[in-house]
Each structure stands twice: as C-alpha cells, then as structure tokens.
Structure 1
C-alpha cells in the first residue's frame, strides 16, 4: 500500500471514529435526559405504581398457575400442539396478569386525572403488551438459538419504536462498521440479517411442515414418494428463504458462485461418504426399492423400516433396537425385502417322523396343526402344505410350508408356535419323532502292555 492510500485509510478510520463518538455522546445525552424525566415526582409515582402492579401480578400468578397446571394435567385427550400451547400460556401467566392490571390502571387514571399523569404508565403498558406478543409469536420458531435471537431482536426493535428513538439507534448501529474493499459490514446490517433471515426461515419451515403433512396424508402417493416430496419441499423452501433473505438485506449473490464452486471441490474430496449417502438416499426414494414399514434383512440385521433419512435408514428390530444404516449399504449390498411387492411371506419348517408312521397321516396331521395357529393363512392358494423330501438314516424327512401376511409381527415366534402345534398334534396322534441312537460295545479283551503302563 502506497503512502497516499495509507493516509486515506487513516482519515476514513478517524472520521468513522469521530462519528461513532458523536453518536455515542448523543445516546448518552438521551439516557441522561430520560433519567432526569423519570426522577420527576409524578413520574416516580408512576414507576412506583408499575412496580406495585408487578408485585401484585407475581402474587396472584402463583395460585392461578397452580390451578391452571392441574387443569392441564386432566386434559389427557388433547392433541400435542394444544398441550404445548397450554404450557406456553402457563409459563406466561404472570406477564398476562401484569398486562391486564396495568392497562386497567391506565384506563382508570385517564378517566380520573390528567393524561400527563399516566403517560409513563402508557409507555410501560405498551412495552409490556408488545413484549408479551413477541414472546408468544417467537414460539413458532423451532430452533432454540434462532428463537432467542429473533425474540431479543424483536424486543429491542419494539422498544426503540415505542420510545421513538429508532432513527438514532439505527444511525449508531450503522456507524459501527468494518470495510472489506467494496463490502461494508455494519452492526446494523448484522442485526437486520439475523431478524430477516430468522423470519424468512421460520415462515419457510412452517410452510414446509404444512406441505409435508399434506403430502403424507395423500393416499394416492406412495410412501417413498411422500418422503421424497416432503424432503424436496423442505429443501426448496428453506433454500429459497435463505437466498431471498440475503437479497433483501442487500448482499450481492454473484459472489456466492465462486464460493459454491469451492464448496463443491471440498465436497468432492473431503465429504465423499456424505455425498454418496445423500445420492443413495435419493436413488432409494426414486426407485421405491424400500419404503417405511417394509420388513428387510441386511446382513445380520432383520427388522422393519421406521423412517428414511437423507443420510441413513432407520431399521427397528424385534428386540427394540434401532439401527441407523447408511443409505449406501442399501445400494451396494444385497437386501432382502420381505414385503416389497406384497406382505405375504412363506416359511418352511423341516421335521422327521419314524418309519413306522403312515406318511399320509403325518402330512394330514401336520397341515391341520399349522392351520390352528392364528397368524398362519389357511385358505386359497396360500394354505399350508406338507411334502416328503427324503428318507433319512433314522427318519422320514418332511417340509411344512405355510404363509403369513404380517412379517412385522416376527418370524421366529411364528415358527416356534407352529413347532409347538406339531408337537401337540403328533403326541395326540401317536406319531413318533425319532432321534439318532448310537450303540457302544465294550470288548472284554486284554489291554496292550503299553496302555497298562
């Protein structure tokens, strides 16, 4: 940097510092004058009245909040959103009482005394009502950090508007800035960005939730396409809200093209697995190979699909464990989908009986025993069948085949129930279940000399 540019930079910095000092002095003068006004006798009385009303609201809030909480606990049939609204109202009973008390006091004082003697109470009443409305409105923001930023930012803006010092505060915040070439970032720009982006993202999130619920409740759309539609709606709305918020703030979006290229290079090298899982999840949703509710087997994991995510698939097993399996595994590995085209599953049970038992009678008894089990289908082309599959060393071998229509209910338990039904039926019919027997003969001969030693 040459000497002339250094001098210009120093002059600009000195000018910005002088402006900030001047605005700070103006703000200090305003606060000093405000303190002097508040300490005047009748204004001090109004502050005392407001303080007394706040204490009275706190005293009255305790029994009212307790009774309201007991009443909420009795509303067991209410939907979840209504219970949340009740809890939000329960936490703000003191503020609601204070607003009611102070506005009642203001209306009474305006009727019985001069308007100037209730002017400060009117300001306090407006502030308390505005803060209460902001507190309720920001509950729509789901993210806790974003909710706090929007709430406190709205509180500050409302306070400045009611006190009539918005222009002075805006000028002071805009004077605190940092220049990066042609880009100027001020404290006012940061506050404006937080508020605008917070509002835009909150609206986008609310609209995407409504759209997702509409898509999920549409019976004409398959479950996998419902998930895909909900994800796409959420991405498009949130992305659009983000870029619209940046444009509304005044940030030039052309510079983001270079940044997006750099991010793409970083994704290609450092986030290969993440991108692979994202693309695999999109392929799964498009080809409809799996969907929520399907019963699948992947390696040693057997269970039903609980949800499809952008990075993983949630699979719940019979023992209550939830496995978060990366989407890439469903593309590269062999997956058994027990309910892909329909929910009918055929199971095979192998058993054997003695050679002295009539095979025709064994088949009849086995089929009738399987039909007595509740989950086994017993009609049409899915009725149980039994076949001889071989003559073993000590038994005649059979296979019993039966169908079920609810694989989510488990496979091991239905096999066990059918085996128990076979055991009871064979025992009642006098059919034997043989088992291998071995005969050991001990020869009474002299042991070799070497073993005797």
Structure 2
C-alpha cells in the first residue's frame, strides 16, 4: 500500500521546466489521452464536413474547406488542452520562441512546404482531380491528395509522385484542367512533295473524326497545318481538340491518332518519306590512278 502511495505521489509531483513551466506526470498522461481524442475528433470532423459540403459545393472546394478546418481544429484544440492541463501559455510562448528560432533554420523547407500547402488550399489553383504536369517534360498525372506538406500525383502508369508543395508555388506547373476541360493536340507527320494538299486535308480530317475523342464544334474543329518544307517532304501537323477523358492519357491519345493517320495514308497510297543518303564507291582502277596522281603531285613539290 505504501509503494502504491509512493507511485501515486510521484505521478502528482510537478516536474519543472525552463520558463516557469511545471507539469505533473499524471497530467502528461491525461494530455496524451486528450490529444489522441482530439486527433480522432478532428479526423471525424474532416470526413463529415467533406461529405456534407460536397452535396452543395464543388468537391474540390469541399475538400479544401475540410482540410483547412481540420488543421484549425487541431491547433485550437491543442491550445485548449494545454490550458486545461494548467500550462502557462505565456511562459510557453517564451520557450516556443527560443525553440522556434532553432527549428526555423533546420526545418525551413518543411515550413515552406506547409505554408505553400495552405496557399494551394485557399487559392485552389491546384485541386484534387486536376491533371497537372511539373514543368514541360516533368512528371504528369492526376492529383489524388493535397496535403499541407506534399501533393500526391498519380500517373497513368499508376505511379505515385510525392511532390513538395513549394514546387507548385515557386516553380512552373502546367494545369491541363484548371479553367477548361479541352485541349488542342498537335500530331506531326510528313508527306512527300507533290502530294495534293487539299485532298490530304480531307483525308486526315476524316481520319481524326473516326476517333471518339475528337471535338467537332465551332472554333474547335480538326484541321491540317503545313509547318515546314523538310528535306524529304512537307512537315505537317494534324490539329485536333479533345476533352478531359483524352487529355488525361496523352500518350495513348497520341498513339491512337498516329495509328489512324498511318491507316489513312497507307490506304491512300501515300508513303511517308524518309531522308536518303547516297554513298558511291570508286572502282579499284580509278582509285589506283587517283593515288598515283596524288603521289606524283606530292613528289614534285
């Protein structure tokens, strides 16, 4: 009984920290329990808010509001828990200021990503469900998760990229579905000189219309461009407009149009030209005479 009383007294004995902060071990246990409950409640609130808001708002906006509310609820709840446990927040602010200066240098990138994540959630330049690309030739895919530290982008090969949020705020990002769900594609190909260009235009437009992805509305009709005079023929581009279901799979969409073009050109008897190089070899007697003439020339000089 005396041993239990000793243990209980130890749990009730305050432990002093710099800045005039005193915390009892029993209070630490209570604080951990409250923080676990706080985390569980914040997650439940986030899911519930997202479900309710999605019924009346855009799903991306509902997601952003629920995430911001989640972090605000955690921050406010943590302050209330500390205040309930008897922690003097004014003294804690002094200690937090000292620690914060040290952490600020070591965790600068983490804080930068955190601030960038909040900016993305509030301004909604990138949303869950958007199809984005990092720089011109960087990874691309659909945004499946937008956190405060990183954004999860899933490619068409089912590869997940975890991209720090600071890259979206400070770097170049291509959002293919930000304001318009359609995009114009350029499909390059080449035909030999002398090809009837008017007939070629009708041919490739008819080939493009065989794809269910091709748009054929005012201002967004398929067409043909002759872009350059190459070494072996006309450099051309098939111009098509596609909707979101095609732009989120750019590799497969380009392959489909190349296939349709190849079929149409083959059926019309139009061969895709290739640059040719001719190499001629001199006969042995001519080569021998040339070598003798070169030798006489060098000896006379």
2:47 to 191, 209, 213: 209
2:134 to 298, 313, 319: 298
Residues 240-279 of structure 1: matches in 2 within 5 Å? 240-279=76-115
Residues 382-401 of structure 1: matches in 2 within 5 Å? 382-401=220-239
For residues 440 and 187 of structure 1, what CA distance do their matches in structure 2 show? 90
- The answer to whether the Cα contact below 8 Å between 2:183 and 2:247 also exists between their aligned partners in 1 is no
Q: 1:105: which partner in 2?
A: none
Task: Give the deviation of 1:358 after TM superposition.
Answer: 1.4
Pairing 1:323–2:161 present = yes
Q: 2:277: which partner in 1?
A: 438
Unmatched tracts of structure 1, length 5 or more: 1-22, 28-168
For residues 275 and 184 of structure 1, what CA distance do their matches in structure 2 show? 29
Task: Give the deviation of 1:211 after TM superposition.
Answer: 2.4
Unmatched tracts of structure 2, length 5 or more: 296-301
Secondary structure of the equivalent of 2:44? helix
Q: How many residues are paired up?
A: 284
Shifted more, 194-203 versus 437-446: the winner is: 194-203
Distance 1:412 1:173, change over 3 A: same
Distance 1:202 1:390, change over 3 A: closer
2:260 to 402, 421, 436: 421
For residues 52 and 272 of structure 2, what CA distance do their matches in structure 1 show? 58
Q: 2:2: which partner in 1?
A: 24
For residues 189 and 287 of structure 1, what CA distance do their matches in structure 2 show? 40
Residues 44-59 of structure 1: matches in 2 within 5 Å? none
For residues 256 and 90 of structure 2, what CA distance do their matches in structure 1 show? 68
For residues 431 and 400 of structure 1, what CA distance do their matches in structure 2 show? 16
2:64 to 228, 231, 234: 228
Distance 1:324 1:392, change over 3 A: same
Task: Give the deviation of 1:249 after TM superposition.
Answer: 3.1
2:183 to 340, 345, 349: 345
Q: 1:361: which partner in 2?
A: 199
* Cα-to-partner distance string for 1:84-130 (whole Å, 9 max, x where unaligned): xxxxxxxxxxxxxxxxxxxxxxxxxxxxxxxxxxxxxxxxxxxxxxx
Secondary structure of the equivalent of 1:386? strand
Secondary structure of the equivalent of 1:446? helix
- The answer to whether the Cα contact below 8 Å between 1:353 and 1:431 also exists between their aligned partners in 2 is yes
For residues 148 and 12 of structure 2, what CA distance do their matches in structure 1 show? 40
- The answer to whether the Cα contact below 8 Å between 2:21 and 2:88 also exists between their aligned partners in 1 is no
Distance 1:265 1:353, change over 3 A: same
With a CA cutoff of 8 Å and minimum separation of 6, indicate the structure with the bigger relative contact order: 2
Secondary structure of the equivalent of 1:340? coil
Distance 1:189 1:312, change over 3 A: closer
- The answer to whether the Cα contact below 8 Å between 1:294 and 1:340 also exists between their aligned partners in 2 is yes
For residues 23 and 180 of structure 2, what CA distance do their matches in structure 1 show? 60
Residues 138-153 of structure 1: matches in 2 within 5 Å? none
- The answer to whether the Cα contact below 8 Å between 1:304 and 1:408 also exists between their aligned partners in 2 is no
Task: Give the deviation of 1:172 after TM superposition.
Answer: 6.4
Normalising by the residue count of structure 2, what TM-score does the alignment of the two structures yield? 0.82
Normalising by the residue count of structure 1, what TM-score does the alignment of the two structures yield? 0.56
User: CA RMSD, aligned part only?
Assistant: 2.8
For residues 276 and 176 of structure 1, what CA distance do their matches in structure 2 show? 40
* Cα-to-partner distance string for 1:411-452 (whole Å, 9 max, x where unaligned): 12211111111121122222232222233333331332699x
Task: Give the deviation of 1:328 after TM superposition.
Answer: 1.2
Larger radius of gyration between Structure 1 and Structure 2: 1
Task: Give the deviation of 1:394 after TM superposition.
Answer: 2.5
Distance 1:434 1:255, change over 3 A: same
- The answer to whether the Cα contact below 8 Å between 1:208 and 1:237 also exists between their aligned partners in 2 is no
Task: Give the deviation of 1:367 after TM superposition.
Answer: 0.5
For residues 34 and 170 of structure 2, what CA distance do their matches in structure 1 show? 44
